Amino acid sequence: MNICKSCGGEAPLSFRFCPRCGTQLYEGLERSGADPDSFVPLLNSLYNLLAVKRGDVPHPDRGKHLNTVSESAMSRRCSIDHNEMCRDIFRSLRFRPEASQALDDLLTLSLSNALAGYAYRAVEEMICKRKILPMPSTERDSLISTVWRNSDLKESAYGELRSDDPVEHRLLFCLALNWNSGHDRYTLASQDLHEKWWKTVFGENLELSFTCFENVYRAVGLLANRQPLSHAVKQSVADDVHEELTHGYVVRLAESLYPI
């Protein structure tokens, strides 16, 4: 349970606000004795702190748990992918007024998924009570230099990322780390636990993403009223959710390997 600092009331970990006085709640990462079963509630609690709804004022402690360079790296990647997706799917809809709100919703969705991945790694570190040691600088530089071996990346909008910009430099490091799932070797939890946690978090984010895509597709007239999303669209949404969660995860992991 969470104890509200304002009124002393108790609320379940997944509550965003105190039911008694309305203060925003979250569970910090300093908690001792967190067990593997509290993974999902703790993740939801941290996520509630990190994900700020449009128009809401961020909690004063948000910056303690989310590095600004990391946040910008996640936004940068989400914008690049979002622009590509808009070009592919919504080419004909770009100038319809209702499309513009819908496209914003999809960008917010991809950022939310990345934040959930970021919180995932943070809670994994908390429960496993350890972090990965920083990578020696030579190894780090050589890893960054391999980023363009992925030629698809080089030829996409990612090809414009520059190493002399701190946010883009970090994103390049994360992309290189993520290549061929290279980040997997830094998993802290046992394989069984990780699979169980990932399945749960992925499932929750996927459901939310399906709902969001359905609303967007209906709003812009790509889907009739009771028509469900096609199998192909669902598959592509699932791939995106997996990539976005993984990206957030890698960005948080990168803070240990290459401290900011």
Binding residues (CB under 5 A) for Zn ion: these are: 4, 6-7, 9, 18, 20-21, 23
Smallest gap from residue 18 Cβ to Zn ion (A): 3
Q: Which is nearer to Zn ion, 27 or 124 (CB)?
A: 27
Calculate the alpha carbon distances from 76 to 71, 80, 114, 122, 153 in Å.
Answer: 9, 6, 11, 20, 15
CB 236 within 8 A of CB 110: no
Smallest gap from residue 9 Cβ to Zn ion (A): 4
The maximal CA–CA distance of the chain, rounded, in angstroms, is 56
CB 209 within 8 A of CB 80: no
Q: Which is nearer to Zn ion, 27 or 168 (CB)?
A: 27
- The alpha carbon of residue 154 and the mean position of all alpha carbons in its chain are separated, in whole angstroms, by 23
Q: Which is nearer to Zn ion, 22 or 182 (CB)?
A: 22
Smallest gap from residue 158 Cβ to Zn ion (A): 45
Mapping DSSP onto H, E and C, the string for 34-92 reads CCHHHHHHHHHHHHHHHCCCCCCCCCCCHHHHCCHHHHHHHHHHHHHHHHHHHHHHCHH
Q: Which is nearer to Zn ion, 21 or 157 (CB)?
A: 21
Smallest gap from residue 16 Cβ to Zn ion (A): 12
Smallest gap from residue 59 Cβ to Zn ion (A): 14
3-state helix, strand, coil split of the chain in percent (to 5) is 65, 0, 30
Q: Which is nearer to Zn ion, 3 or 260 (CB)?
A: 3
The helix (H) or strand (E) run that includes residue 3 is strand 2-3
Smallest gap from residue 3 Cβ to Zn ion (A): 9
Q: Which is nearer to Zn ion, 2 or 112 (CB)?
A: 2
